[in-house]
A and B are shown apart, each in its own frame.
Chain A
Amino acid sequence: MNGSNAPMPHLLVVYLDDEPGALDRVAAIFRRRALTLHSLTLSPTREPGCSRVTLEVDAEGATFARARASLEKLVCVRRVESGGAREHGPSAPHPSSL
């Protein structure tokens, strides 16, 4: 964690309807809470009409739980999976490996 007291980045995988503005709604959940996103990848899935967003966010504990609960309230979100906390590595894994 580079010796700082900053929160550990947490990994989230969000499955959402493939429609205009859906990514905006996901990102806004973090923006309005002044949380920083470290990485974000949008990719298609085999599920028809469903995209996958893989993101890393600087949040933990109750803040992380609140953000996740708010994501799950979005109409366009099908489900949310949590990847837990990870140390910063030299490079983020490619989403296809998650």
Chain B
Amino acid sequence: MTAPPTFTGAQILMECLVREGVDLVFGYPGGAVLPAYDELLNYPIRHVLVRHEQGGCHMADGYARATGKVGVMLATSGPGATNLVTGLATAMLDSTPLVAITGQVGSAVLGTDAFQEVDITGATLSVTKHNYLVTTPEGIAPALREAFALARSGRPGPVLVDITKDAQQAKAVFDWEAAKPTRHLRRTPPQASERGLDELVRMLTAAERPLILAGHGIQMSGARREVLALAEWQDLPFASTLLGLGAVPGSHPLSLGMMGMHGEAWVNQAIQEADLLLAFGMRFDDRVTGRLSDYAPKAKKVHLDVDASEFNKNVAVDLALHGDLKESLKRLLPKVTPKSRAAWLARIRDMKGDAAVRDIQNLPDTGELHAAHVIHDLWRLTEGAALVVTDVGQHQMWEAQYYRHDAERGLLTSGGLGTMGFALPAAIGAQVGRPDAEVWVVAGDGGIQMTSPELMTAVQEGVKVRVAVINNGFLGMVRQWQQFFYDHRYSSSPIQSPDFVKLAEAYGAKGLRVTSRAEVESAVREAQAHDGPVLLDFRVVQEDSVFPMVPTGAALDQMIRRPLPSALAESGADR
């Protein structure tokens, strides 16, 4: 009998990646990961060379969010690994399935402060679902297989695998079957109990003003059809979290739009008046609830989630159902009979009240370019079908308000961590994963400068991403908070930018400048027609604010509203 064949650790790593279905990794090489990079040439895996590991992590994140597959990032030890931290935390907060693989110094010098050594498993402990320090070639396959299983299972998230250089170089027997993971099954969620589902039916029957809070979990569970079936059968209006936009279609007659700090006033008011809230795959984030002691005071609350640690974390609930959303709703639906709630829906329509006249889209055209105009026109010109990736700040909220998302995975944004610099690299990852999608970045002039070198990645890789910079010369959301809560003292919020058109051209991309609303359409059309990366510099009104706004610590229905047009005409104030 011949001895089983042996492989180097680097070969085992690549064998595992291929078997996990990976055909694309984002990465940046360096000393401690060179054996893996050398072996990469022998395997059918595309490598996208990034310009900074943080950008690479966001690309893997964007790829995962856009496709539903696990994103993979490869980096070296030390600074290569620490540069991943923001990207991992972003993925952790938004539950993105991601596997980051880092090279590590040789096992013999671990803990000696060797060149480019950092304790990355220690550093990333709280921003990963789990992580591994692998010091032998035998340890690679079990760690990798479990990492992928963990990243995908239950509530998804990022996992990091740190592999010493000698473990990549040494040889071992590769046994795929023996490396089959089991520990992730410890956390397989129980199905929601029959009693709990029956209780939910009773609560629904008794409720007069019920409302669904639609979260990111709907998309992750693939429960869109079931949620819509329940909503339509029971005449249940639904409000979305930021990450829940598109999980259920925004143009559905029962859709109210976004809830929370920058949600429309009537949406938050409806939540405050509801007598039953059905929270599906969301986590009652502070940006969603406002002051907790006043949150939805009249409502019984039902929380259905895959992660039991979310129950009663921020909001005490009357019924917690632990399970996969899709499976739970599939079992719920046969128990539910159709019901009409005309009075409640009419009441919500009434609550819309004067929102329409305050809407910036209905204000007289002054010739000035407002961000809300740009977003609205972008929605119109892309027929609502683009895959939009937003950064963090005012433009992110305007996009959420004025681009109506109907398709799942149509909006990618850093909701939980609020990571500036996320959009451009995440969009590159999304575009690589879905080459047929029309991918648009919407970013501010602050955030785009955090990761703009990734434009070069887009050019080198031929990624046709379109970048709309909402350029107002300020860190806009900081300026808005300073205006409202710090007596207009604009401490370090004015920001200068390079000539974005020239910057784009320097990278070999196309650059366009837009200064009036009349130019928006032709610029967007030109970007759509261009076969390569394009950056559009939209010079918008500088001191514009996002309305409505629930100030931190205020109740959800205590909003700062957009001034009425008559007040605007008199004062020339914000709109």
**A interface residues, Cβ below 8 angstroms from B:** 17, 20-21, 24-25, 28, 32, 62, 65-66, 69-70, 72-76, 78
Contacts and interface: CB of A to CB of B under 8 A. Distances in A.
19 contacts: A17-B183, A21-B125, A25-B125, A28-B126, A62-B312, A66-B309, A66-B313, A69-B308, A69-B311, A70-B309, A72-B308, A72-B309, A75-B130, A75-B146, A75-B150, A75-B183, A75-B186, A75-B187, A78-B186
B315 to A, nearest CB: 11
A75 B184 contact: yes
A78 B182 CA distance: 12
Contact of B122 (A24, A65, A78): A24
Contacts of A20: 133
B461 interface: no
B332 to A, nearest CB: 24
Contact of A65 (B121, B186, B187, B312): B312
A56 B146 CA distance: 31
Interface string B138-160: 00000000100010000000000
B125 A75 contact: no
Contacts of A32: 126
A80 B183 CA distance: 16
B129 interface: yes
The 10 closest A-B pairs by CB, nearest first: A69-B309, A75-B130, A70-B309, A28-B125, A75-B183, A73-B309, A32-B126, A28-B126, A66-B313, A69-B308
A20 B125 CA distance: 13
Nearest to B150: A75
Nearest to B183: A75
Nearest to B184: A75
A49 B364 CA distance: 71
A21 B133 contact: yes
Contact of B129 (A24, A65, A75): A75
- Mostly, the A contact residues are helix
A21 B123 CA distance: 12
A36 to B, nearest CB: 18
A16 to B, nearest CB: 11
Contacts of A75: 129-130, 146, 150, 183-184, 186-187
A24 B308 contact: no
Interface in B186-231: 186-187
B159 to A, nearest CB: 9
B438 interface: no
A72 B311 CA distance: 13
A24 B125 contact: yes
A78 B187 CA distance: 10
A21 B309 contact: no
Given A62-B312, A66-B313, 8 more contacts: A17-B183, A21-B121, A69-B308, A70-B309, A73-B309, A75-B186, A75-B187, A76-B183
Interface in B427-460: none
Contacts of B121: 21
A72 B121 CA distance: 20
B187 A73 contact: yes
A69 B155 CA distance: 14
Contacts of B122: 24
B543 interface: no
Contacts of A78: 186
A52 B479 CA distance: 52
Q: Which of A72, A73, A74, A78 has the most CB of B within 10 A?
A: A73
B153 to A, nearest CB: 10
A64 B146 CA distance: 29
Nearest to A73: B309
Interface in B116-135: 121-122, 125-126, 129-130, 133
B307 interface: yes
Contacts of A74: 130
A66 B307 CA distance: 12
Contacts of B307: 73
Contacts of B186: 75, 78
A70 B183 CA distance: 16
Contacts of B309: 66, 69-70, 72-73
A20 B143 CA distance: 13
Contacts of B183: 17, 75-76
B73 to A, nearest CB: 20
